[in-house]
Structure 1
Amino acid sequence: MPSIRVLIADDQMLVRQGFTVLLNAEPDIEVVGQAVDGRDAVAKVAELAPDVVLMDIRMPVLDGIEATRQLTGPADTAVKVLVLTTFDLDEYVYEALRAGAAGFLLKDASAAELAHAVRVVAAGDALLAPNVTKRLIAEFARLPGAPRRPLRERVAELTERETEVLALIAQGLSNAEIAEQLVVAEQTVKTHVSRILTKLGLRDRTQAAVFAYETGVVRPTGG
């Protein structure tokens, strides 16, 4: 089986080296390069064609948000971006998710969690770890103002069941967990998710979760 090719973008050498050692120990993952800032990451992706980029947010020259936007903007892009954040959720993480990131990972993650996250996003899924999602919700709880009208109009296109599934996605539930809660087949949930993404014009489950909080489909409690 071909290895998952990973690029690590972080301005801290110890983080890059530590993650490189951990990931290279996995039989199906290979770190093909390291980048010291966002601009370097964009250049290295063009040169090395990795499957996944572990992207820090706060970096010099070009931050992780803009680098993510540049990497995931093209419609035919293949690279997946996994945002790196500290234990206290970086205030800019949800901006990175809007920019096209496939998920986010804590910098103090274990070797097993790190490898799992890489495999999840490489497979085309979104990483919505419940412990990190809770902090993301807290960020939305601090955002002022009502949802923008165009977003609310897009929500109106969803059926009642699709809106229900969207809310559960935003809570970090997997397809299997949603199926169990709604007492339906997992394939049925997959169909709902696919329709939700199509109707809302979203890339993946992560952006769907962000959308749910932006539009008020789910009300953040801040805790």
Structure 2
Amino acid sequence: MSGSPIRVAVVNDYEMVVAGVAAMLSPHTDRVSVVELDSGLPVISDVDVILYDTFGQVQGDGVDLEDLVRGSEARVVIFSWNVQPDLVARAIDRGAAGYLSKGLSADQIVDGIEAVHAGETVTPRPDPEAAERAAGEWPGREAGLTARESEVLALITQGLSNQEIAERTYLSINSVKTYIRTAYRKIGVTRRSQAVGWGMRNGFEPDRMRSIDTSPPA
């Protein structure tokens, strides 16, 4: 690619997650330049692409793309391991310019960002193993938590019920319960209150809370 690197803002409410994405993209500074790391503020820089990492975040129809863009010309790319076709389709219908799986390599992610910047709409190919190859960093990784287990624990720490977690992550309630059991075993707790306490001590509280706008479109 010729010319200046594409200016990218990484958006997520967990500082560790944002830093992990930036570190993953850092070997490709000739192609993309991470000019803003947002773990608590609206995107304010003049950027080309906003990469919205869904870890512990509102997803699907709840993502307020207008709030992310704030009137700029930036194109929004959803970065997630939730790549169900209906979820991807709804995000694109609501205005996302691309949807990238966390199962991609850093080079493939940069390819996707470049394609979106060139005006293409990028969507993932079905990949049931994507969650097992999730890129980046997440709280609790040093404790052996997988990306999915970590996200479920983050949502528990945020105060969500099992049903609310299932709705947020687009997982079945049984899958949520399985991730909870395996996460509890790894961090040595047996009750929800203990899990919340552990989460609060180990970086599972977000820097800000995004609410879901359930009002119908104007």
TM range (shorter): 0.3 to 0.5
TM-score by length of 1: 0.47
TM-score by length of 2: 0.48
Higher helix share: 1
